[in-house]
Structure 1
Amino acid sequence: MSVFVSEFQLGGDGLRVAVKDTIDIAGHRTQCGSRALADSAPAERNADVVDAVLGAGWRIVGKTNLHELAFGVTGINDWTGTPQNPQAPDRVPGGSSSGSAVAVASGLADIALGTDTGGSVRVPAACCGIAGLKPTYGRVSRVGVHPAASSLDCVGPFAARMDHLITAMRVICPDFREVAAPGAGARVALLEVAAETNLLSRIGVAADRAGWRRDSLRLEGFDEAFSAGLSVINHENWAALGALTGKGLLGADVEQRLLAASRTDAAELAEAEAVRLRFSRAVDAALEDYEVLLLPTLPGLPPLLREARGGSKTVAGMTALVRPFNLSGYPALSVPVELECGGLKIGLQIVGRKGHDELVCAFGAQLEQALAAERPANKKTA
């Protein structure tokens, strides 16, 4: 299934953890899913999050595959292979942390670590039907994570169960504290975004099932934040990875995106930073009225593999609902929700105040519990 780029056993006998191959593990190469880094020297020390995992007595089971250089959203990688989406083998696994999501979804790991610069934890979590968290920017250490410098990228956990995801955050985020579950009738806002009607409807039903009081809200600057986020990603990725182009070692898709990224100029970057500030203020204002914001993780179902390879326009829009929260730095969690009884799981995204990752996870756990309670009744009437 091309889930792992290398499999090995390291650590104690606790939970099994898979680690994205952009995160250093001492004695192992960090190749970032790219032929261009195939001959890189083994890492000399562990990333901070790896030391945290090993310190907890957990067992690392390998380094996971990804979209090359973590610069893509489908998870397709023709050099290392493309991990197969366990819940929909004909659809993309999502990227860039494809192998991490698939490792958890297929039962090869209890927890996986990925990175999220523009949706790279939440998108594959939604594609594969599991939970994935992008923490508040800067809350989890990025020491030993590639690229070394980023104003957007976050290390985040995947898990099939919210209790595992919360446990993972306690380990990799030392100041993470448990909070009480949201009270009855917690106020939430379902954002008005461009997504398929059936997804929006199902997310509304799920919120109702959890007992939350929901309003609709249009968030100003959302589309501008999506575009501005790409400008920042392009600028920072070109600075970090541009030297790898022109050598015939990169996949065509990544080579083309990096060359396009090189054209990001100072004026475009300055406007992106202005958008970052305006959008952050808009989110802050919304979160004064609501405890969390809700929206789909993906605007539609994950693209079919054949569509993605054919250059379908749906691929470009896969991060439309996630990237704005990288630009602004808010914690954002994708929780799986069945689209229909026994059918494909989609992602419901929960966004909270900066530094309130615990509350975001508490909402996710409450939702998971509410949906688990409704499942037997649904099956009886199916």
Structure 2
Amino acid sequence: MSALINAFTLGGDGPTIVIKDTIDIAGMPTTGASRALANAASAQEHAQVVRLLLDAGWRIVGKANMHELAFGMTGINDYTGTPINPQDPTRIPGGSSSGSASAVGLGLADAALGTDTGGSIRGPAACCGVVGLKPTFARVSRSGVAPAESTLDCVGPFARDVRMLIDTMSVIAPAFDRETALKSVTTCKVGIARVDAQAELLSAVAHAPQRAGLSSHAIELAGFADAFQAGLAIINAETWAAFGHLVDSGKLGADLEARLRAASSTTPDHVSAAERVRRSFTEAVDRAFDGVDVIVMPTLPALPITIEEARRGVSVIAMSSLIRPFNLSGHPALSLPLPIEGSPLLAGLQIIGRHGADEQVCAVAAAFETALAS
């Protein structure tokens, strides 16, 4: 069962959850689904999010598979196996939290934890037809999560519906206000960002606020394309710093080794320029919230490609074009399953909120969820 690296039971009789293999569980190695870390020593203690779940009586039922070392968008892993896309097994499950999204979509657990450095929760959620949240940066503890240092990465939940997502957040983020997240949204100003994506996805996003009875208007996000490139530069530099020493091990997948070698060419000047973009883009998003409560757009610019296409070398870098900028800015962003006219596949509706307004993002997502199901 490739959604999970290994299945086991740990904890109480509460909701079931799987944990991505970048998150420490005491007594088990954290391998990042990589042969290069297969002999890693077992974790000495639980990551803080794992401890919080166990203290709340949740039941962990396995370690979730993933794209090797959390550095890829397809979810394909020839070492641990590629998790099944519950919507269409011929298509990629998305990365890097592929096993987390797959396990939830397949009903193997009520919820899952993943990590999102450049879209790695929202992308798989959109591919697999489930809900996934990248919280506000630093809203959820990364203690006991690999890599140890990151200015982009966030731990966040997957679920099949928004209520379970809220339940998960209320455990892993102790300051999260569950009651606020569960409040019915009757008024909300929605900004529909002008972005490049397939026409049918843009149409579905444009009609979603109307279906939910919410007011909306189009907005521009200044510097969006630059933010995407800046996010790439920073993730490349930080991933090389964390895992570059494994390049000569002879144990990395060919695709990952190639990307790491390319990442090694990121210079301090590239990072400095990216940090300037981070500041300007964050300010631009904050300004956009002067006139709206949430911003929406497709999660991915297109439906997921097939595994065969990915193996043939079809580029997937554009998959993260609409999600990576919000890792750079740190705003909370949620992907909700979005019906597409004429397609059996669900896409993703991305809902972005103000810094710290994770509860409002969830409440708005619940309103959209109800409307889109009718």
TM-score (norm 1): 0.96
- Distance in 1, Cα, partners of 2:23 & 2:359: 24
The answer on whether the counterparts of 2:212 and 2:368 sit within 8 Å (CA) in structure 1 is yes
Partner of 1:249: 251
User: 1:56: how far off?
Assistant: 1.0
The answer on whether the counterparts of 2:86 and 2:102 sit within 8 Å (CA) in structure 1 is yes
- Distance in 2, Cα, partners of 1:195 & 1:341: 17
Q: Does 1:117 align with 2:117?
A: yes
User: 1:339: how far off?
Assistant: 1.1
User: 1:241: how far off?
Assistant: 0.4
User: 1:148: how far off?
Assistant: 0.4
SS at match of 1:318: helix
Stretch moving more, 291-300 or 201-210: 201-210
- Distance in 2, Cα, partners of 1:84 & 1:271: 38
SS at match of 1:246: helix
User: 1:183: how far off?
Assistant: 2.6
Per-residue displacement from partner, 1:122-145 (whole Å, max 9, x unpaired)? 000000000000000001000000
SS at match of 1:288: coil
User: 1:155: how far off?
Assistant: 0.2
Mapping for residues 290-369 of structure 1, pairs under 5 Å: 290-313=292-315, 315-340=316-341, 343-369=344-370
- Distance in 1, Cα, partners of 2:342 & 2:372: 11
- Distance in 2, Cα, partners of 1:341 & 1:254: 36
Per-residue displacement from partner, 1:46-99 (whole Å, max 9, x unpaired)? 000000111110100000100000000100000000011011111100000000
The amino acid across from 2:253 in the alignment is G
User: 1:359: how far off?
Assistant: 0.2
- Distance in 2, Cα, partners of 1:143 & 1:161: 27
Change (3 A) 1:90 1:245: same
Stretch moving more, 336-345 or 224-233: 336-345
Per-residue displacement from partner, 1:278-327 (whole Å, max 9, x unpaired)? 000100000111000000000000011111111112x1111000000000
User: 1:181: how far off?
Assistant: 2.9
The answer on whether the counterparts of 2:200 and 2:341 sit within 8 Å (CA) in structure 1 is no
The amino acid across from 1:370 in the alignment is A
The amino acid across from 1:254 in the alignment is L
Q: Does 1:181 align with 2:184?
A: yes
The answer on whether the counterparts of 2:127 and 2:347 sit within 8 Å (CA) in structure 1 is yes
Partner of 1:22: 22
- Distance in 2, Cα, partners of 1:115 & 1:150: 11
User: 1:206: how far off?
Assistant: 1.7
Partner of 1:377: none
- Distance in 1, Cα, partners of 2:220 & 2:309: 31
Partner of 1:221: 223
The amino acid across from 2:172 in the alignment is I
Q: 1:283 aligns with which of 285, 292, 311?
A: 285
The answer on whether the counterparts of 2:135 and 2:156 sit within 8 Å (CA) in structure 1 is yes
Mapping for residues 3-22 of structure 1, pairs under 5 Å: 3-22=3-22
Partner of 1:39: 39
Q: 1:195 aligns with which of 188, 194, 197?
A: 197
TM-score (norm 2): 0.98
The amino acid across from 1:182 in the alignment is V
Stretch moving more, 299-308 or 339-348: 339-348
Which of structure 1's runs of 4+ aligned residues deviate more than 4 A? Answer: none
Q: Unpaired segments of 5 or more residues in structure 1?
A: 375-382
The answer on whether the counterparts of 2:11 and 2:54 sit within 8 Å (CA) in structure 1 is yes
- Distance in 1, Cα, partners of 2:18 & 2:106: 12
Mapping for residues 143-162 of structure 1, pairs under 5 Å: 143-162=143-162
- Distance in 2, Cα, partners of 1:239 & 1:83: 27
- Distance in 2, Cα, partners of 1:223 & 1:347: 20
> How many pairs does the alignment contain?
371
The answer on whether the counterparts of 2:97 and 2:115 sit within 8 Å (CA) in structure 1 is yes
Per-residue displacement from partner, 1:309-363 (whole Å, max 9, x unpaired)? 11112x1111000000000000000000111378211100000000000000000
- Distance in 1, Cα, partners of 2:163 & 2:190: 22
Partner of 2:164: 164
Alpha carbon RMSD of aligned pairs, Å? Answer: 0.9
Partner of 1:95: 95
